[in-house]
Chains A and B, each alone.
Chain A
Amino acid sequence: DTGVSQDPRHKITKRGQNVTFRCDPISEHNRLYWYRQTLGQGPEFLTYFQNEAQLEKSRLLSDRFSAERPKGSFSTLEIQRTEQGDSAMYLCASSLGTPYNEQFFGPGTRLTVL
């Protein structure tokens, strides 16, 4: 257990439905990241928050994806109008930024879109 928690751990949904995932980072960590991982691949960067500010959003993140970190603590990732290609593991990570920005990963939310 790294101290980063994610909810739910698994989500099965039908194509076209909206889903929302939650991430609770390690409490003193000001940096929060979302990654997506598909089978046989490494995680791919989606977006990054420093405190409540979203500082970067990958081109992988279409307009159907939105992430928030309203009070600089927990974060949510919403996918609207899900597609089968969205099926993946969604990983959240957090870090302090120093001394070398080690990122601690949560257990992930596995999304299956039918």
Chain B
Amino acid sequence: GQNIDQPTEMTATEGAIVQINCTYQTSGFNGLFWYQQHAGEAPTFLSYNVLDGLEEKGRFSSFLSRSKGYSYLLLKELQMKDSASYLCAVLNDYKLSFGAGTTVTVRA
């Protein structure tokens, strides 16, 4: 089975940094994705990790430790438009298994 856990909600101030953790136990692993989803919209791709370590992409970075079944998404210099749900998803062959998502609220 698949078990993917992430916090339900996080709140942070504009300009700050927020780290969203994701732990997973899955029957297979071909990589881990982070998606952003604004209310009522489709998930959009943020990052992909398949090897251990940090991937940096502008204000967003993602880290993976396969031995620990752990990833995090780091959002820097938060902007109001970053208020959204962030979904951790594990790829097993062709199938994505998603966590329930973390709702991030950015306050002025």
Q: Say whether A associates with B.
A: yes
Contact of B48 among A2, A50, A102 (CB under 8 A): A102
Q: Which residues of B contact A31 (CB under 8 A)?
A: 94
User: Considering the chains assembled together, what is the distance between the CA atoms of A44 and B98 in angstroms?
Assistant: 7
Within 8 A of A (CB), among B10-38: 30-31, 33, 35
Categorize the interface residue count of chain B: 20 to 34
Categorize the interface residue count of chain A: 20 to 34
Within 8 A of A (CB), among B46-102: 48, 50, 87, 89, 91, 94-101
Contact of B96 among A41, A50, A55, A103 (CB under 8 A): A103
Total of A-B residue pairs, C-beta within 8 Å: 62
- Closest chain-B Cβ to A26's Cβ sits at a distance in Å of 13
Q: Which of A12-20, A65-73, A75-83, A105-113 contacts B (4 or more CB under 8 A)?
A: A105-113
Q: List 8 A-B contacts (CB under 8 A).
A: A4-B42, A41-B101, A42-B98, A91-B42, A100-B91, A102-B48, A103-B33, A106-B42
**Which A residues are closer than 8 A to B by beta carbons?**
2, 4, 31, 33, 35, 40-45, 48, 50, 55-56, 91, 95, 97, 100-108, 110
